[in-house]
Amino acid sequence: MSHPHRPAPVSFAQALRFWLWLGCVSFGGPAGQIALMHEELVVRRRWISEKRYLHALHYCMLLPGPEAQQLATYTGWLMHGTRGGMAAGALFVLPSLVLLIALSWAYTVWGQHPWGQALLWGLKPAVTALVLQAVHRMAKRTLKAPWLWALAAASLLGMLWGLSFPWIILGAALLGHGMARHRPVAAVPHGAASAAPDAPAWLDDDTPQPAHTHYSHGRLLRALLLGVGLWAVSLGSIALLLGTAHTLTQMGGFFTQTALLTFGGAYAVLPFVTQAAVMQYGWLSATQMMDGLALGESTPGPLIIVVAFVGFMGGHSQALLGNPLLGGIAAACVVTWFTFLPSFVFILAGGPLVEATRHMPSLAGPLQGITAAVIGVVLHLAGTFAWHTVWPTGQWTQADWPALALTALAAWLLIARQWPVMRVLAVCALVGMGVQWV
């Protein structure tokens, strides 16, 4: 029996317009994007209830990869099936991909110009401050017990000693599982908004479960086979056409691994990508990685889209496919495809199981352990960025004191004053241009 105040069903065309709009305006990182989706989907439009939204959010938080994009995919799938999930997830990414490819091209053309260098000089302290802000946010939300603080410190030491990122995550998950039994800590999902509206939603708790969300072994197997098949065909075709040692083949394999092994959001992925892309493959330098993160922060959509910049720079520098620009665009698209494909598989294959059970085994302990370890990993990334910003020559005695002061200012504005990211980026860019003018 329908509720008299429940909103009318949402058409697929109406949802498409919303997902495209969201992909163009979702600045502010995963926490801001999750809060924005809550405001639009739960509070303002009442397309989905608070409980269903949080149920989807909790599932996405347990997955590797970009949780905000996965949450959009899950919600789109819940509303309109497979086509809805694919449309929501793709439109959450495509605007930022197109914009970042354009910015990457501009970076290769004007990045070495004096004014371009001045602009980037101002943005690098902001990037370091943004990573510090991410550490601060995660620490406030996660480190609720002494053993979590100790785990974060241990992961930082592990990174300094050169311990592999997957081993840190595995050890943290095992320790978190053990500690949760003896000293449980209440989990607080980040990005979750406040009170639910009193009025019911289109997809409310008492709404009959849509047919496409019903779980079956056959449906799960088909979704898994389709996802794995797409991955195998795409990577196999690249390897067959270009060879297994080609850069595009290496990028496809590496970013698949990245999508599967990194938990904790975009800032958890970045140390892993930076270490491999800079030191192992040489696709770009550490300084260029910082510049790419600054460009990624200035675009809407998931922050992990910065991997498209990594791909573009690698393809451009090696002039893949015989042309720097064409090689950069191809590499950026390949990297984006293999980074986000697993997220679609996780949602479209696992969504029916989650909706059918509505009760998941308690994974709060492993998740808390992983998140605490990620804090140490991200703090190590902040130290790496600070080193390249304040000591660009690599010598302790040759510090760039204005860069250090600007880093401190940006961190204070973000953490203490809680300024929006775009405003801080604009301030730092203006300071950089002003220093060049002086």
DSSP string covering 74-129? HHHHHHHHHHHHHHHHHHHHHHHHHHHHHHHHHHHHHTTSHHHHHHHHHHHHHHHH
Question: How does residue 265 score in pLDDT terms, banded at 50, 70 and 90?
Answer: low
Instruction: Give this prediction's pTM.
Output: 0.78
Residue 185 has pLDDT above 70, yes or no: no
Distance (Å, whole) CA 313 – CA 308 = 9
Angle formed at CA 103 by CA 394 and CA 33, multiple of 5 degrees: 95
Distance (Å, whole) CA 109 – CA 317 = 12
Question: How does residue 127 score in pLDDT terms, banded at 50, 70 and 90?
Answer: confident
Residue 291 contacts residue 428 (beta carbons within 8 Å): no
Classify residue 210: in a domain, yes or no: no
DSSP assignments along 27-84, one per residue: -SHHHHHHHHHIIIIIIIS--B-HHHHHHHHHHHHTSSS-HHHHHHHHHHHHHHHHHH
pLDDT single digits (tens) 38-88 = 889 988 899 998 888 877 887 787 788 888 899 999 999 999 999 999 999
The DSSP bridge partners found for residue 203 are: 48
Classify residue 211: in a domain, yes or no: no
Classify residue 201: in a domain, yes or no: no
For residue 288, give every residue at least 6 positions away whose Cβ sits within 8 Å of its Cβ, in sequence order, or none: 313
Predicted pLDDT at 183: 65
Classify residue 196: in a domain, yes or no: no
Classify residue 73: in a domain, yes or no: yes
Instruction: Please state, for a pLDDT cut of 70, what percent of the chain lies above it.
Output: 89
Classify residue 289: in a domain, yes or no: yes
What's the total number of domains in the chain? 1
The amino acid occupying position 393 is: T
Classify residue 304: in a domain, yes or no: yes
Phi-psi region of 217 (alpha: psi -120 to 50; beta: other; left: phi over 0): alpha
Residue 97 contacts residue 335 (beta carbons within 8 Å): no
pLDDT single digits (tens) 302-318 = 888 999 999 999 999 99
Q: Which domain holds residue 273?
A: 12-186+217-437
Classify residue 327: in a domain, yes or no: yes
Q: Whose CA is closest to 206, among 25, 38, 358, 32?
A: 358
Question: How does residue 432 score in pLDDT terms, banded at 50, 70 and 90?
Answer: confident
- What are φ and ψ of residue 194, in 5° steps? -85, -135
Q: How many residues does the chain have?
A: 438
The DSSP bridge partners found for residue 48 are: 203
